[in-house]
Amino acid sequence: MSRRRFIAGNWKMNLDRAGAAGLISALRAKLPHDPGFDVAVFPPFPYLELAVNACAGSCISVGAQNCSHELKGAFTGDVSATMILDLGARRVLLGHSERRHVFGETDVIIAKKMATALGIGLHPILCVGETLDERKAGQTSDVVLRQLREGLAPVAAAQLASVTLAYEPVWAIGTGVNATPEQAGEVHSILRNALAASHGRATADSMRILYGGSVTPDNAASLLAVPGVDGALVGGASLDASKFVPILEAAQR
């Protein structure tokens, strides 16, 4: 089963208004109308609308980096999936390791966000990944499988087509130490086999699993060559067109 590749840029809490606009126009200039794979950017909330407008008519889709578990109400500081959709963004990252480990989000809250986001038609990317201590303790598979199971718990079979997965080992994020192609391939297989057991082989084969964690122009091609690695969720290297464009080019080959 061939899955369309997907390269996403998670800007995290970076760039300003001019930087966001400049980056998108630089990407648009390099990308054909249909490069043959999916491209998305995930700007900070204040620049979502700017990004939606700047990406209009291009192949680049736009998503938020997080959303509230509730659709509206007294949740000071939170942003709802409805608001994200209202601005024209179509995607959302859920369970990113920084949300889990810096902000203490649990599998339970991430599952609620998943249900809320899917319920109104956003397309989530569910991120899973182990810490270095968990890897050293031989718990990688237990951790990612628990995050997968809990994150997908509220998802109906018919909704799975709207969900993308991302394996982002915590120890590889922002460290310059990427998972090797073998390490990425091993965990992607674990995830896909679990999906096959829970949802059937055809569904498992249709779902995209991205790799994230210190993806650069230097390692993108070797990571994307791994069977079962369907794309990349890029942090730091997505902030600079001179680094993100070569990663997009690697996906095209």
Q: Which residues bind ligand 13P (CB under 6 A)?
A: 10, 96, 168, 173-174, 212-215, 233-237
Catalytic residue selected from 69, 96, 123, 188: 96
- Comparing CB distances to ligand 13P, the nearer of 82 and 148 is 148
- Considering beta carbons, is residue 44 or 174 the nearer one to ligand 13P? 174
Q: Which residue is nearest to ligand 13P (CB)?
A: 235
Asked if 20 contacts 43 with a C-beta cutoff of 8 angstroms, the reply is: yes
Q: Apex CA 50: angle with CA 45 and CA 54, to 5°?
A: 135
Residue 120 CB, nearest approach to ligand 13P (Å): 23
Cβ proximity to ligand 13P, 82 vs 191, nearer residue: 191
Question: Is 168 in the active site?
Answer: yes
Nearer to ligand 13P, 82 or 243 (CB): 243
Q: Which of 69, 130, 168, 188 is catalytic?
A: 168
Quote the least distance from Cβ 55 to ligand 13P, whole Å.
19
At its nearest, how many Å lie between ligand 13P and the CB of residue 1? 25
Q: Which DSSP string do the residues of 29-95 spell out, in sequence order?
A: HHS-S--SSEEEEE--GGGHHHHHHHHTTSSEEEEES---SSSSSS-TT---HHHHHHTT--EEEES
Spell out the residues 6+ positions from residue 12 whose beta carbon is closer than 8 angstroms to its own.
44, 65, 98, 235
Q: What residues are paired with 123 via a beta bridge?
A: 91
- Pair 251, 217: CB distance under 8 Å: no
Residues tagged active-site: 96, 168
